A and B are shown apart, each in its own frame.
Chain A
Amino acid sequence: MIFPFESLVAEHRELGLVVETLIGFGFGFTLERAGFGRAQKLAAQFYGTDLTVFKVMFSSIVTAMVGLVVVSGLGLADFKAVADSATSSTFLWPMIVGGLALGVGFIVSGYCPGTSWVAMASGKLDGLATVAGVVVGQVLYAEVEWRAFLKAFHNSGNLGNLYLWELLHLPPRTGPAVVALAVAAMAVGCFLGAEKLEKVLASRADPAAQANPAGRPGRAVFAGFATAALLGAVLLALPTGIQAKSREAASVSQLELARRVLDEPWKVRVIDMRDMKECAARRIPGAECVPVDKLASIRLAEASPSRDVILVGPADVASVPPAAAGYPGRLYVLAGGFKGWEAFALTQPVPPAPGAPPAEMEEYRLRAGLNSAMTGMKAAPPPPPPTAAPAGPRKGGGGGCGG
Chain B
Amino acid sequence: MERNPDKFWNPYLAGVALGLVLLTAFLVMGKGLGASNASLRLGVTAIGAVAPNHVASTPPLAKTHSDGHPLDNWLVFEVLGVLLGGFVGAYTSGRLKKEILKGPHIGNGARIALALTGGVLMGAAARMSRGCTSGQALTGGALQSVGAWAFMLSVFAGGYAMAWFVRREWR
A134 & B126 in contact (Cβ 8 Å cutoff): yes
- 27 A-B contact pairs sorted by A residue (CB < 8 Å): A21-B81, A32-B89, A33-B17, A34-B11, A37-B86, A40-B103, A47-B167, A55-B12, A68-B23, A79-B143, A82-B26, A87-B32, A87-B147, A88-B135, A94-B128, A100-B158, A101-B121, A107-B118, A109-B121, A112-B122, A118-B83, A121-B90, A123-B98, A137-B121, A139-B43, A142-B40, A215-B10
B95 & A30 in contact (Cβ 8 Å cutoff): no
- Interface range, A side: 35 or more
Stretch at the interface among A154-162, A229-237, A273-281: A154-162
Judge if A179 is at the interface, Cβ distance under 8 Å: yes
* Cβ contacts A116-156/B at 8 Å (1 or 0 each): 11111111111101111111111111110110000000100
A117 & B60 in contact (Cβ 8 Å cutoff): no
Judge if A163 is at the interface, Cβ distance under 8 Å: yes
Cα–Cα, bound, A167→B166 (Å) = 37
In chain B, what residue has the closest Cβ to A222? B12
> Which residues on A sit within 8 Å (CB–CB) of B123?
113, 133-141
Cα–Cα, bound, A162→B83 (Å) = 32
* Cβ contacts B72-105/A at 8 Å (1 or 0 each): 0010011111111111111101011111111100
Judge if A344 is at the interface, Cβ distance under 8 Å: no
In chain A, what residue has the closest Cβ to B33? A27
Taking Cβ atoms with an 8 Å cutoff, the residues of A that contact B are 3-6, 8-9, 16-35, 37-41, 43-47, 51-52, 54-65, 67-68, 71, 76-77, 79, 81-83, 85-92, 94-114, 116-127, 129-143, 145-146, 154, 159, 161-167, 176, 179-180, 191, 206, 210, 212, 214-215, 217-218, 221-222
Cα–Cα, bound, A68→B88 (Å) = 29
Within the complex, the shortest CB–CB distance from A137 to chain B, in Å, comes to 2
Q: Given A133-B120, A138-B40, does the pair A118, B86 have CB atoms closer than 8 Å?
A: yes
B87 & A122 in contact (Cβ 8 Å cutoff): yes
A57 & B137 in contact (Cβ 8 Å cutoff): yes
A31 & B82 in contact (Cβ 8 Å cutoff): yes
Cα–Cα, bound, A56→B12 (Å) = 6
Cα–Cα, bound, A167→B142 (Å) = 16
B154 & A103 in contact (Cβ 8 Å cutoff): yes
B80 & A95 in contact (Cβ 8 Å cutoff): no
Taking Cβ atoms with an 8 Å cutoff, the residues of B that contact A are 6, 8-33, 35-37, 39-40, 42-44, 46-47, 58-61, 74, 77-91, 93, 95-103, 111-112, 114-163, 166-167, 169-171
Residue with the greatest number of chain B CB neighbours at <10 A, chosen from A22, A25, A90: A25
B147 & A159 in contact (Cβ 8 Å cutoff): yes
B139 & A146 in contact (Cβ 8 Å cutoff): no
> Which residues on B sit within 8 Å (CB–CB) of A38?
95, 101
B24 & A29 in contact (Cβ 8 Å cutoff): no
Within the complex, the shortest CB–CB distance from A187 to chain B, in Å, comes to 9
Which of B78, B102, B127 is close to A23, meaning CB atoms less than 8 Å apart?
B78
In chain B, what residue has the closest Cβ to A214? B12
Which of A46, A133, A142 is close to B163, meaning CB atoms less than 8 Å apart?
A46
B96 & A101 in contact (Cβ 8 Å cutoff): no
Cα–Cα, bound, A49→B148 (Å) = 26
> Which residues on B sit within 8 Å (CB–CB) of A21?
77-78, 80-81, 84
Residue with the greatest number of chain A CB neighbours at <10 A, chosen from B20, B121, B124, B131: B124
Cα–Cα, bound, A57→B97 (Å) = 26
Cα–Cα, bound, A327→B143 (Å) = 22
Within the complex, the shortest CB–CB distance from A142 to chain B, in Å, comes to 4
B82 & A25 in contact (Cβ 8 Å cutoff): yes
In chain A, what residue has the closest Cβ to B111? A126
B145 & A90 in contact (Cβ 8 Å cutoff): yes
B130 & A117 in contact (Cβ 8 Å cutoff): no
> Which residues on A sit within 8 Å (CB–CB) of B136?
88, 95
In chain B, what residue has the closest Cβ to A123? B98
> Which residues on A sit within 8 Å (CB–CB) of B127?
98, 137-138, 141-142, 145
B30 & A28 in contact (Cβ 8 Å cutoff): no
B28 & A5 in contact (Cβ 8 Å cutoff): yes
Cα–Cα, bound, A274→B77 (Å) = 54
B99 & A137 in contact (Cβ 8 Å cutoff): no
Which of B10, B27, B142, B167 is close to A4, meaning CB atoms less than 8 Å apart?
B27
Residue with the greatest number of chain B CB neighbours at <10 A, chosen from A22, A33, A109, A127: A33
Which of A51, A112, A222 is close to B132, meaning CB atoms less than 8 Å apart?
A112
A64 & B142 in contact (Cβ 8 Å cutoff): yes
Q: Given A20-B77, A94-B129, A121-B83, does the pair A26, B24 have CB atoms closer than 8 Å?
A: yes
Within the complex, the shortest CB–CB distance from B125 to chain A, in Å, comes to 4
